[in-house]
Structure 1
Amino acid sequence: MTEALPSAGWLNDEHGSGPLATGEWWLIDPVGGNVNAVHGMPDWNIGVSLVRDGRPVLAVVYVPVLDEMFTATEGGGAFLDGVRLRVSAKTSLDGALAGTGQAQPGHDPELAKRMGSAFPAMTNSALYVRISVPVTHQLAQVAAGRMDVHWQFDNVRSHAAGVLLVQEAGGVVTDLEGKPWELAGESYLAAAPGVHAAALEVLTA
């Protein structure tokens, strides 16, 4: 990667957040969901994204246990092992599979409280709600149409790979005010178009 773009910066802090300087940056999550890997569970991955002037333009998420390779380029679509991905066509939240996850430890009490209250609200509206890590795994599932909704109250830069996958698979990614997702934002909702508005209403009620 350094040979391909020698001028690009390199960050492998999977919990890093906030804005980046202009230019190109490689964002690396060497073991997303490392707690799962350590405990012998299969839900972990390796994530790489290229961010250019604050927006992701390339993403690769590899799931070693399943040997699945998710890829996306800005304007070029999202793919799983070379097969194009599309988010689900669901239009009703009561049939949707939703998820969220703790992106980093040490949440302040108010954020923890907000996370705790959102779970029962979504449980009462969606078919199923999953709380797990890694976040990029759930975002990849939304891109593949296996899940329908994913939300986060803590947005870290390493999520950019998953966000681009969802966007390029036809999903909608906004902050929790309904504004377009930004790398330095604090929260976001990624969902299939047919259920995004209903999920946003649940999370902001």
Structure 2
Amino acid sequence: MPDRNIGVSLLGEGRPVLAVVCFPVFDEMFTATEGGGAFLNGVRLRVSVKTSLDGALAGTGQAQRGHDPDLAQWMGAAFAAMTNSALYVRASVPVTHQLAQVAAGRMDLHWQFDNVRSHAAGVLLVQEAGGVVTGLEGKAWERASESYLAAAPGIHAAALDVLTA
């Protein structure tokens, strides 16, 4: 998998405050500090400016721990709903790669329902690039969240509506 990565994050009071993620195959180094912005190989990042979900490039990972039929049903329904709303939906891992792509404006949104423990670095990248990251109830993302949506501001509300319908 060429999108494998090596990443570290530092948490302060439960929030990511520093992120470094290296994608060696692509020779890309993503960095972010809380309040200091997000960068790719030293160049400042900005999320996409899209305002319509029908032109959005979306992604999800959805690798689940164990086999929970209800969770699998929820994941499948969400994937189908987003496929009917966005231009394109990608399901792949590692998830940090997708979050970095949202931060870089190459993708427009990413959501995850389960197994979100190691996503702090990617979340900080998106936030510091101007993206919106919330739990699916719409509240600000927290490390203890069981699910989240990271998206460009212009499509976050529409994507949240699709995922919670």
TM tier, smaller: over 0.9
Query: What is residue 40 of structure 2 aligned with on the other side?
Result: 80
Q: What is the CA distance between 1:104 and its match in structure 2?
A: 4.2
Q: Could you tell me which of 178, 192, 195 is aligned with 2:138? A: 178
Question: Where does residue 117 of structure 1 map in the other structure?
Answer: 77
Match of 2:61 among 101, 122, 125: 101
Contact in 2 for aligned 1:155/1:186 (Cα 8 Å): yes
2:154 is paired with a residue of what secondary structure? helix
- The separation in 1 between residues aligned to 2:117 and 2:12, in whole angstroms, is 13
- Native 8 Å contact 2:29 2:40 kept in 1: yes
Corresponding residue to 2:102 among 142, 166, 188: 142
Distance in 2 (CA, whole Å) between partners of 1:147 and 1:121 is 18
Moved over 6 A (4+): none
8 Å contact from structure 1 (residues 47, 158) kept in 2:
no
Aligned mates of 1:167, 1:129 — CA distance in 2: 21
1:1-205 residue pairs with structure 2 within 5 A? 41-205=1-165
- Identify if the C-alpha distance between structure 1 residues 107 and 152 changes in structure 2 by more than 3 Å, giving closer, same or farther: farther
In 1, the alpha carbon distance for the partners of 2:23 and 2:100 equals 10
The alpha-carbon deviation at position 121 of structure 1 amounts to 0.3
8 A Cα contact 1:155 1:188, kept in partner: no
**The 10-residue stretch of structure 1 (80-89 or 109-118) with the greater mean CA deviation from structure 2:** 109-118
Percent identity between matched residues is: 86
How far does residue 155 in structure 1 lie from its aligned partner after superposition?
4.5
User: What residue ranges of structure 1 are gaps of 5+ in the alignment?
Assistant: 1-40
Distance 1:203-1:52 versus aligned 2 partners, 3 A rule: same
Residues 51 and 103 (structure 1), Cα distance of their counterparts in 2 relative to 1, 3 Å cut:
farther
Contact 1:172 1:191 in 2 (8 A): yes
Distance 1:62 1:69 in 2: 4
* SS across alignment from 2:125: helix
1:81-110 deviation per Cα after TM superposition (whole angstroms, max 9, x unaligned): 000000000000000000000244424111
What runs of 5+ residues in structure 2 fail to find an aligned partner?
none
> Separation in 2 of the partners of 1:156 and 1:204?
18
Please tell me the residue identity of whatever aligns with 1:141: Q
Larger of the two Rg values belongs to structure: 1
Deviation of the 1:189 alpha carbon: 0.2
Larger mean CA deviation between 137-146 and 147-156 belongs to 147-156
Aligned residues between the structures: 165
| CA–CA distance in structure 2, aligned partners of residues 202 and 119 of structure 1 | 10
Q: Distance in 2 between matches of 1:95 and 1:107?
A: 33
- Match of 1:141, SS state, is helix
